[in-house]
Amino acid sequence: MSKNIRLALKLRADGVHLPEIVARRGPLRIQSTPRGFMISAAAHSKQALWRAQIAKAEVVMISPVFQTNSHIGAKPLGSIRALRMIRHCPNLKPVALGGICPANVKRLKSKLMHGLAAIEAWST
């Protein structure tokens, strides 16, 4: 995990995204990051949210919330399960990803949800 962050710092990126498997490795071994440097992490379960917090992520991408063409065969969390999950991460800014479209946005309305991310919705 440290090498992902070191590379981002070397490239003077504004932050880094950690796949769930990388965040699983535990706390960061980086002493300091520049002010405003953002770390996000993927989460597909409550346990992954806990690991994202330990990895010092600020933002967590909850996915896939709904059925999506980018991950065919992946079981979606659904809006109720996704909203229940984010209650367990008060120190993280949760962002919903996966199958986000105008019809599904209303199902995710919550003060707990920090934002929405979409891929396919932009092309349809």
pLDDT in tens, the chain (124 residues): 456 778 888 999 999 898 888 777 666 656 677 888 998 999 988 888 888 888 888 999 999 999 888 778 888 999 889 988 888 778 899 999 988 888 888 888 777 888 988 887 776 5
Spatial distance between the Cα atoms of 16 and 37, rounded to a whole number of angstroms: 8
**What CATH number does the domain containing 114 carry?**
3.20.20.70
- Please tell me the total count of domains within the chain: 1
- Largest Cα span, the chain: 43
> What is the DSSP code (8-state) at residue 107?
G
Neighbours of 91 (CB within 10 A): 11
**pTM of the full structure:** 0.82
Domain span holding position 59: 2-28+35-122
